[in-house]
Amino acid sequence: MGFEYIKALHIIFVVTWFAGLFYIVRLFIYQTEAMERPEAERAILKPQLDLMASRLWYIITWPSAVLTLIFGFWVLTYRMGYLQLGFMHAKLGFVALLYGYHIGCHILFKEIKKGRTRWTSTQLRIWNEASTLLLFAIVFLIVLKSTVSMLWGIVSLVGLGVTLMLGIRIYKKFRNRA
């Protein structure tokens, strides 16, 4: 299989993996809020949300994470010289953080499935933004191929993080008024 096909498959599975990561935490939020509902509502919501989360996690997110890794290593076999460049070290560091985030989501998935949650829906909303920050870092590094630009990228990520936090706070105030 040619390099461009392998690279395309890698990108496709990155996209589906991120879609799963973004949506699974949203389901965690709904599940957490459902556990705070009266028993009659909880009895309807929790099984349906658990089913949705299980299907998303095991049919889309986990396979996409594994296939992203396989095709990513395969892409690197065509570009071994990249492993000596600083931007690739930084990118792979962020990718390692993303897999750590994925494992963290798996732990949350297991806890919530058992009906336990240690995080509030607001904390989960903040957790959800970590994957957004990692996405920005990884994409900018791989497109710009520069660790010098990474400094500006980090400054931008901090700005984005602050903006996201403000957005979450504004949303929470707006939601509490409704």
Per-residue pLDDT tens over the stretch 94-145? 999 999 999 999 999 999 999 998 999 989 998 998 998 899 889 888 888 8
Domain that holds residue 48: 3-177
10 is in an annotated binding site: yes
Mean pLDDT of 152-178: 78
Q: Name the pTM for this structure.
A: 0.84
Q: Which residues contact 111 (CB under 8 A, 6 or more apart)?
A: 117, 118
**CB contact burial 154-165 (16+ within 10 A = b; e otherwise):** eeebeebbeebe
How many independent structural domains does the chain possess?
A: 1
